[in-house]
Amino acid sequence: MHVSSEAVMHLPVWDAEHGTLAMPVLSARISVHPYSETSTWRIPHVTLEPWQDEVMECLDPAEFAAVIAQVRAHCDRLDGVLARLVAARAECGGS
């Protein structure tokens, strides 16, 4: 098995037992298992962990591109939430 280095982002997430922890999200790596009995594992593919220990395995380029597009679209929606938050805080005198 061959695995690339990992592209990962950490976000501070509250944990009731440990307090705030830097949790890995959207962790992606390219893998290939040349001797696998499963043909899709024998060609390079992406393994994506949207959240720690939650795995989307064996994504081909089109599937990975679709996930990236969903994340980008969601970031646009988050920008909308941010704009509404700024407006709401301005209305109540907060910054």
Return the domain boundaries, the chain: 1-59, 61-95
Query: Quick one: pLDDT band at residue 1, thresholds 50, 70, 90?
Result: confident
User: How many Å apart are CA 49 and CA 8, to the nearest integer?
Assistant: 9
Share of the chain above pLDDT 90, in %: 89
pLDDT, tens digit (0-9, with 9 covering 90-100), for 51-83: 988 999 999 999 999 999 999 999 999 999 999
Evaluate if pTM is beyond 0.75: yes
Contacts of 78 (CB under 8 A, 6+ apart): none
Query: Quick one: pLDDT band at residue 14, thresholds 50, 70, 90?
Result: very high
Residue 9 clears pLDDT 90, i.e. is over it: yes
